[in-house]
Amino acid sequence: MDPPLPQVAASLIGPYVGNSGLADSMAPFWVAQLPHHREELMARDYFEPRMSHRGWPRNLPFVVESGGPAGYSVHLALAFGLILQTETDAVVDAVLVLAARKQLDTDLLGRQLEALLNHGWAYADKASGSLRAAAETGAYATVWSVLRAALPGLLGETPVRGAAAMLALAVECASRCGAKGEIPEVTAVADRKGSSLTVKNARLLREALR
């Protein structure tokens, strides 16, 4: 059995119930003990076992505020946080902090979102909700950059479920930040016959990018 936390510590972070990855109340202390190794810390944190644990995204701000490289593993944690839409405020804070420090790789984050949404994590509607929350803080250009990287892979022959919501957010972000430049995959969907919401929003985005 794990030893109990000191009373002062327990009052701050709650009871220690064992190792549950980032869901563990001890996670902030792991980051503090390895303040310049956030990428290694996240690489050693296994995503699959802790997907059933609620609350782990609340520790993402501690991760991004620490030091060291912010690479594949840190961005993958953010991507999971965005698509699960739990503890959204904490996930959005983490994304914005990394962006403010100019350490957010929007292309990497967008590609990771696309890969997750195409391979078993069909939560594009939730991802768009999380990204909208980030955009509404004023980070329209940052969110557009993430969407710009994600959209091509989400708009295949059969767009992912929830693509319409992602496109609607992309229209708003692109319009507000003045983004221009054709995205061939968006144009291909916009040129299709029909009046589905996905096609309509693709047409709006095509026009916004002209």
Is there a contact between 142 and 103 (Cβ–Cβ < 8 Å)? no
Q: Backbone phi, then psi, for 22, in 5-degree steps?
A: -70, -15
Q: Looking at residues 139-162, what average pLDDT do you find?
A: 96
Higher-confidence residue of 97 and 17: namely 97
| pLDDT value at residue 110 | 97
Distance, CA of 102 to CA of 163 (rounded, Å): 28
Q: Looking at residues 171-177, what average pLDDT do you find?
A: 97
Kindly state the tokens that stand for 30.
């792991």
| pLDDT value at residue 97 | 96
| pLDDT value at residue 27 | 54
| pLDDT value at residue 34 | 58
pLDDT digit string, tens, across residues 81-99: 999 877 889 999 999 999 9
According to the per-residue pLDDT averaged within each range, which of 38-42, 51-55, 159-163 is highest?
A: 159-163
Q: Backbone phi, then psi, for 20, in 5-degree steps?
A: -125, 35
The model carries a pTM of 0.81
Is there a contact between 76 and 119 (Cβ–Cβ < 8 Å)? no
| pLDDT value at residue 10 | 54
Q: Looking at residues 71-78, what average pLDDT do you find?
A: 90
Please list, in sequence order, all residues whose beta carbon lies within 8 angstroms of the beta carbon of residue 93, skipping any fewer than 6 positions away. 60, 61
Report in angstroms the alpha-carbon separations of 86 from 57, 180, 195. Answer: 7, 32, 33
Using only C-alpha atoms, what is the Rg of the chain?
A: 19
Q: Backbone phi, then psi, for 9, in 5-degree steps?
A: -65, -40
